[in-house]
């Protein structure tokens, strides 16, 4: 399972929605791996926004920018845990280009698609969560998502006014 602190999820949405203009946006969720395989998941510590070519209906990260966006991984002992990108409409499926351009094709890789340019502040339940299996990508059923992606509180405050 990939554990996503609420702060990290919020950072993705805030940045997607405050970027100049309305376009599909992309980010990567990096963190500490829970095991050697992508399917082992891990804990997200870092959100990365690559320099991408982003338009109303498409996005692409060229190989030079992709490698720049991964340069911090080894020095900090992190791995890329998931990709998040936004779609213009409520459709959160994986397009053929999404299948092709995902950051990894190793089984167990997770790709998250947010609807409506993320303008409605979608939560995990609104997202399309896609799992790479040996023979291709599969969108997880709603009740499966919790086994793969979990959003946890970043702050819990028990203080009371007296």
> Residue 161 CB: number of other CB atoms within 10 A?
3
User: Is 98 among the residues that bind Zn ion (CB under 5 A)?
Assistant: yes
Burial of residue 114, with CB atoms counted within 10 A of its CB: 0-12 exposed, 13-18 middle, 19 or more buried = buried
Residue nearest Zn ion, Cβ-based: 98
Of 24 and 30, which CB lies nearer to Zn ion in the complex structure? 24
Q: How many CA atoms lie within 13 A of 38 on its CB side?
A: 19
Residue closer to Zn ion (CB basis): 33 or 127: 127
Closest CB to Zn ion among residues 32, 66: 66
Cβ atoms < 10 Å from Cβ of 155: 7
Find the shortest distance in angstroms from Cβ 98 to Zn ion: 4
Is there binding between residue 30 and Zn ion (CB under 5 A)? no
**SS3 of residue 11 by DSSP:** helix
Q: How far apart are CA 107 and CA 143, in angstroms?
A: 20
Among 11-19, 45-53, 67-75, 89-97, the segment contacting Zn ion (CB under 5 A): 89-97
Stretch that binds Zn ion, among 32-40, 76-84, 87-95, 127-135 (CB under 5 A): 87-95
Q: Using the rule CB under 5 A, is 54 a contact of Zn ion?
A: no
Q: Which residues bind Zn ion (CB under 5 A)?
A: 95, 98
């Amino acid at each position: 399972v990939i554990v996503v602190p609420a702060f990290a999820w919020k950072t993705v949405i805030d940045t997607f929605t405050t970027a100049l203009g309305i376009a599909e946006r992309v980010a990567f969720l990096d963190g500490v791996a829970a095991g050697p395989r992508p399917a082992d998941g891990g804990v997200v510590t870092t959100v990365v926004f690559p320099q991408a070519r982003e338009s109303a209906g498409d996005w692409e990260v060229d190989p030079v920018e992709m490698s720049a966006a991964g340069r911090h991984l080894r020095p900090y002992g992190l791995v890329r845990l998931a990709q998040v990108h936004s779609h213009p409409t409520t459709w959160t499926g994986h397009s053929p280009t999404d299948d092709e351009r995902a950051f990894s094709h190793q089984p167990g890789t997770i790709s998250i698609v947010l609807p409506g340019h993320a303008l409605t502040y979608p939560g995990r339940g609104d997202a399309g969560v896609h799992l790479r299996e040996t023979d291709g990508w599969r969108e997880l059923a709603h009740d499966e998502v919790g086994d793969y992606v979990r959003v946890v509180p970043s702050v819990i405050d028990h203080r009371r006014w007296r």
